[in-house]
Amino acid sequence: MTTAKDLFIVTMDREPDRPVGQGDLSLALAGAEVIDLVATEALTLDGDRMVPRLDSATDDRLLDEAATKLDRRAPYERVEDWLWRRGRDLAAAYQSDLERSGQLVRQKRGRLSFKGERMELTDSPARTRALHRWAADEPVLLALAAVVGLPAEQTEDTPAVADEGVTTVLVAVHDAVMELEAVRQRRSIEKAAFANIWRG
């Protein structure tokens, strides 16, 4: 399993104060993929530039797909640009992947998916692993979850993210989610103003 799938599973399992937006989660999943690709040595980070390295297959279809989409031309892609390019509809892709593998099923009762359908996680080794990482206060997973609105209870003993490259990715994810929220708010204001014109 990957950090991205663990993040998706935790998001489905937890009860957030507000629903997690598909766009927010998609951006975070794209960031998680970068972190996983660095861990598998498929790329390195040169500042905020993603420099492809080895062509090594993983045991994860979506992560392998992400590796094939890396820009292999200098000066290489910035993390922020990757988030917007790769993140488009990525949450739906992860949902479909987990459904295909039987780890996420449609239920009459359960949590709502992004499309308004009732979805429920099955008891699986993947779910157990993701929730174990969450319970163990794994810093990268906690940081990504916090960006999409799933803050965990942290104490002084909660480990911090120490890797500079990972921090670069987390900052980019945070900034992208904030930018997306600003776009939402602007559109909401514009719609309200347009409605007022017609009512007036």
- Between 58 and 48, the more confident residue is 48
| pLDDT in the model for residue 114 | 56
Count CB-CB contacts under 10 A for residue 198.
6
Tokens of 164: 């500079």
pLDDT at 45 over 90: yes
pTM, 2 dp: 0.86
**DSSP states of the chain:** --HHHHHHHHHHHS--SSPPPHHHHHHHHHHHHHHHHHHTTSEEEETTEEEE------S-HHHHHHHHTS--STT-EEHHHHHHHHTTTHHHHHHHHHHHTTSEEEEEEEEE-TTS-EEEE---HHHHHHHHHHHTT-HHHHHHHHHTT------TTSPPP--HHHHHHHHHHHHHHHHHHHHHHHHHHHHHHHHHHHH-
Structure confidence by residue, pLDDT tens digits, 5-18 = 999 999 988 765 56
- Say which residues have a Cβ less than 8 Å from residue 92's Cβ, sequence separation at least 6: 22, 26, 114, 115
The whole-angstrom separation of Cα 170 and Cα 60 is: 22
Q: How many CA atoms lie within 13 A of 171 on its CB side?
A: 10
Structure confidence by residue, pLDDT tens digits, 86-145 = 999 999 999 999 999 999 888 755 555 555 567 788 999 999 999 999 988 899 999 999
pLDDT at 156 over 90: no
Least confident range from 55-59, 95-99, 177-181: namely 55-59
158-164: average pLDDT: 77
156-164: average pLDDT: 74
